[in-house]
Amino acid sequence: MSKFHINGGVPLIGEVVTSGAKNAALPLLAATILMEGDTTLTNVPNLMDVITMVRMLKALGLNAEYRSPNIVKISNTKKVRHVAPYELVTAMRASFFVAGPLLAKTGLAKVPMPGGCSIGSRPIDIHLKGFKQLGASYSIEHGFVDLRAKKLIGSHVYLDFPSVGATENMMMAACLAEGTTLIENAAQEPEIVDLGNMLNKAGAQVSGHGTSTITIKGVTSLTGVTHNVIPDRVEAGTFMIAAAITRGNVLVKHVNTLDVEPLVVKLKAAGIKVEEVGNDALRVSALNGFQAVDIETQPFPGFPTDMQAQMMSLLTLAKGTSVIKETIFENRFMHAPELMRMGADIKLNNHIALVTGVSGLSGAEVKITDLRAGAALILAGLAAEGTTTVYGLKHLRRGYENMAQKLTALGARIDEIPETGAGR
Ligand code: EPZ
């Protein structure tokens, strides 16, 4: 596996264009299982997780091909298979998003339990409870969830927690159910809105997506569509923080400014300059440093958990002490010990991190444990004095398209070194 060498201390200057949203593309691809005919998705990010989902669709019997690195064409003409391969679900737990569409389309879905990952146990109890409320039954045997339903019946589905994945699975299952479904305590993330919009283009009757109550009137079939994936708000936020942590000046283009509002509020509170340029770009600069701010992750429209690690890197260099509370995942502070090795002053106590700003970070060898922790360590390396070597790039490739190239274009000194087998 290769590694990054980053020579820090260079203020990032220039423009960067964000890619399509990974966390929108994945459910959108799964939703093509529901549709008859051809669907073309544009602005698809060229990422490992998306490639895995395309492989999943092929394994289920759909024709899926890349027309370009960012355009995928799916043809759903034959009967789909209802068993999802183990090796693909373990490669990417979001593959569990195929359960709802498979159940709705075929009445059956046999999907491996996705299992946990480094940030948490990632249970699926909310998904399973929702499927039962829609009239399905299930058994768990040999590591597979075996779902079946002669016919899904529209009903009142209450989610114990506004789970993004469970909301998406319920939306897709309810589209072909008999009658009307109400999803209460639904997730409100922008990716949910994008999914609802695509489903409606395909002939579904979804309303309220983006609020905590989604109403879906079941229909008999959906047709293939052409749909453009929304911009990736987490990638955009990562580059906004890259501008601030290096005290640079960067125009981040191709971003729905409302989708990054929770981050913008916090950056401005820290004294960082953020200005909207048109309706799909933001200029971020922090020429005079920034102050500590407190962060508590919450479901959208609260501060996103997917930006917590990146924000922690920034706050290690803020004036004062910040309190960061992670309320979504049980183990999402793994970037903290690596930041401490770079000189950060962080005290951890369960779900709280006390981050006291230091005058500077020093480059070190660090290891990526999960996708967003990886982004956080790269951001710290961009600001640190000296060289930071970042191992574990496979995690990064799951969620960031051409990250090194985009940072280099902003002036960052970052080289990818093929791994020789030595090192951590
Ligand atoms: C989605 O994961 C995202 N992934 C995650 O992004 C994101 O962090 C998360 O939503 C929260 O915003 C994709 O969209 C592919 P959840 P998801 O169900 O759907 C608990 C990234 O870095 N829970 O909203 O799996 C769960 O354990 C990734 O891009 C249950 O208890 O998240 C967690 O504590 C990481 N039972 C909380 O809810 C369930 O049945 C939020 O999970 C489901 C979830």
| Residue 423 confidence (pLDDT) above 80 | no
Domains of the chain listed by start with CATH number = 2-18+231-418 (3.65.10.10), 22-218 (3.65.10.10)
Tokens for 299, please give them.
Answer: 């479901």
The residue count for the chain:
424
pLDDT in tens, 132-145: 999 999 999 999 99
Residues 6+ apart with CB under 8 A from 329: 119, 120, 305
Rounded Cα gap, residues 156 and 221, in angstroms? 21
Q: If you measure from the C-alpha of residue 338 to the centroid of ligand 1, how many angstroms do you get, rounded to a whole number?
A: 24
* Strand arrangement, sheet containing 180-184: 156-158, 180-184, 213-217, 205-207
Rounded Cα gap, residues 93 and 89, in angstroms? 5
- E strand intervals along 179-234: 180-184, 205-207, 213-217, 222-223, 226-228
State the pLDDT at residue 257. 96
Percent of the chain with pLDDT over 70: 99
Rounded Cα gap, residues 101 and 62, in angstroms? 13
State the pLDDT at residue 371. 93
State the pLDDT at residue 259. 97
| Residue 325 confidence (pLDDT) above 90 | yes
State the pLDDT at residue 117. 78
pLDDT in tens, 238-287: 999 999 999 999 999 999 999 999 999 999 999 999 999 988 999 999 98
State the pLDDT at residue 154. 97
- Evaluate if pTM is beyond 0.95: yes
Closest alpha carbon to 331 in 95, 117, 96: 117
Q: Is 30 in the pocket of ligand 1 (CB under 6 A)?
A: no
pLDDT in tens, 148-177: 999 999 999 999 999 999 999 999 999 999
Ligand 1 atom closest to 119 (CA)? 35
| Residue 66 confidence (pLDDT) above 60 | yes
Dihedral over Cα of 393, 394, 400, 403: its sign = positive
State the pLDDT at residue 45. 98
Mean pLDDT value across the chain: 95
| Residue 424 confidence (pLDDT) above 50 | no
**Mutation test of ligand 1: which of 164, 171, 188 has the most ligand atoms closer than 8 Å to its C-beta?**
164
The answer to whether residues 376 and 313 touch, using CB atoms and an 8 Å cutoff, is yes
Tokens for 323, please give them.
Answer: 């309190």
- What is the phi/psi pair of residue 82, to 5°? -110, 10
Name the band, by pLDDT with cuts 50, 70 and 90, for residue 419.
Answer: confident
pLDDT in tens, 188-204: 999 999 999 999 999 99
Give the mean model confidence (pLDDT) for residues 51-57.
Answer: 95
* Strand arrangement, sheet containing 13-17: 13-17, 249-253, 281-285, 273-276
**Mutation test of ligand 1: which of 328, 351, 396 has the most ligand atoms closer than 8 Å to its C-beta?**
328
Tokens for 153, please give them.
Answer: 């019946």
pLDDT in tens, 107-121: 999 999 887 778 888
